[in-house]
Structure 1
């Protein structure tokens, strides 16, 4: 996949390309020109700039379904994923979290009781060409048999999940929308390291015009970071 940029009068326009000719309001860009040239031109002689899409570009094109975690939460969770580790997560949804942590982990096992979610997630994993994620149709509240370094739970009642197959010292991360869920999770026998809430605000910068954008990504959920001892 490639990204093509066109510097239009009202700002830069961004186009995703996978295969075939690219049809845009600025003309048709031939497939061979996109493949062989970083500055391809359309049939109307409009010049584009192109570059290879990275993971963040590609996930913008995955199929949507259940609500997904935002990048601010995904990025923080990914800090706790060790290279070549085994990770279990529950609440597969679209597969976005599994796909993100699979960039670092050796193997990811993702549990969900909803078959339609798992089918959607598999399509997204195939689109992203990720092969180290195994999707499992099972209620994780009943337990899981995969030994894991890290357990990530996007569930209404994560405190009901058995933690016996998390290694000693392993990390358990709970994604909880409400503070009452956080309070309930604190009743477990885990060592709770911290509870955080991430906020993200983008800035507008153009010449000497500098200001925060009026909209920001506020509360999505609390992240509770715990260790099994």
Structure 2
């Protein structure tokens, strides 16, 4: 039985063509691709790639300037933050939640709209595996080319489950019986009709948007559409901690707002969603003039006294 695509590049001794992440004593990172006969150069000295080729992962190499570097394969989270970019990447914290909260399972048939630089595509392809399918749609050819290069560089070549189409999702979607749909785009509410036609009953739609206005419009559009369940929306923030003996404190920097996520499920055909039984906040759907409270008790007496003083 053959290994899943890309698995051989994730384990074993370093080989020619492997990406290696080098960490110096100060924690600074350098990523190189191993080539026989080449050398890594910095102001701290150099060492030949051949010292790492055939060595086990987790080895330490020393430059001619006597600086040590720890050599490991980059994790997917490391790779997507350092790879070439066209559009902004989906951060690992959001990609991980998309895979989990949208329930991307091995063998799933997934449609992705808005490929960007290919960061989320890598996570989705690892989740669906060789037996699943990921159909990605991207409007801009320059973004599509960058994404293709990043995905193929990560997996060591074309992934058998991936199809990349240049064009709008609304005009080009041909997939049917889709299990999951992930929309990373400016106006996901424009794609709800084609999403409803493509998704199987119970299928999940997951949207990634940047602003509160996009979030509000997408949620309201899903509610009004009639083919989807009540949307769930959230954001996440990640804060690292400095731990050095008894000096335990949060880092001064953190990954704060990157975007909002929301999910909803496809209803069966002909089924009306249950009525929402919740009371919206005052003014949630427009400006409402606040009623004037009646004057009673001592407030009424104070008002009368003020009126008498005004008459005098």
1:144 pairs with one of 159, 173, 183: 173
Deviates more, 1:219-228 or 1:208-217: 208-217
Instruction: Identify the structure with bigger relative contact order (alpha carbons < 8 Å, sequence gap 6+).
Output: 1
CA deviations over 1:124-152 (Å, ceiling 9, x no partner): 12221251321111211236111321101
The CA deviation at 1:69 is: 1.6
2:40 pairs with one of 16, 22, 26: 22
| Alpha carbons of structure 1 residues 51 and 225: separation in structure 2 relative to 1, 3 Å | same
Find the counterpart in structure 2 of residue 12 from structure 1.
27
CA distance in 1 between counterparts of 2:109 and 2:91 reads 23
Find the counterpart in structure 2 of residue 98 from structure 1.
121
1:57 counterpart = 2:78:
yes
1:134 counterpart = 2:163:
yes
CA distance in 2 between counterparts of 1:30 and 1:143 reads 48
* Structure that is richer in strand per residue: 1
- Corresponding residue SS for 1:102: helix
| Alpha carbons of structure 1 residues 160 and 22: separation in structure 2 relative to 1, 3 Å | same
The CA deviation at 1:101 is: 0.9
CA distance in 2 between counterparts of 1:215 and 1:54 reads 22
- Corresponding residue SS for 1:84: coil
**2:202 touches 2:265 (CA, 8 Å); kept in 1?**
yes
| Alpha carbons of structure 1 residues 198 and 160: separation in structure 2 relative to 1, 3 Å | same
CA distance in 2 between counterparts of 1:217 and 1:4 reads 23
The CA deviation at 1:45 is: 4.1
| Alpha carbons of structure 1 residues 137 and 205: separation in structure 2 relative to 1, 3 Å | same
Deviates more, 1:28-37 or 1:44-53: 44-53
**TM-score, scaled relative to structure 2:** 0.67
Cα RMSD, aligned residues only? 1.9
CA distance in 1 between counterparts of 2:229 and 2:98 reads 17
Q: How many residues align?
A: 226
Query: Any gaps of 5 or more consecutive residues in structure 2?
Result: 1-18, 268-312
CA distance in 2 between counterparts of 1:110 and 1:224 reads 19
- Corresponding residue SS for 2:121: helix
Larger radius of gyration: 2
Find the counterpart in structure 1 of residue 255 from structure 2.
217
**1:151 touches 1:173 (CA, 8 Å); kept in 2?**
yes
Q: Residues 1-229 of structure 1 correspond to what in structure 2 (within 5 A)?
A: 1-7=19-25, 11-19=26-34, 20-37=38-55, 38-79=59-100, 80-105=103-128, 106-129=132-155, 131=159, 132-142=161-171, 144-147=173-176, 148-161=178-191, 162-163=194-195, 164-185=197-218, 186=220, 187-189=224-226, 190-229=228-267
Find the counterpart in structure 1 of residue 7 from structure 2.
none
| Alpha carbons of structure 1 residues 49 and 184: separation in structure 2 relative to 1, 3 Å | closer
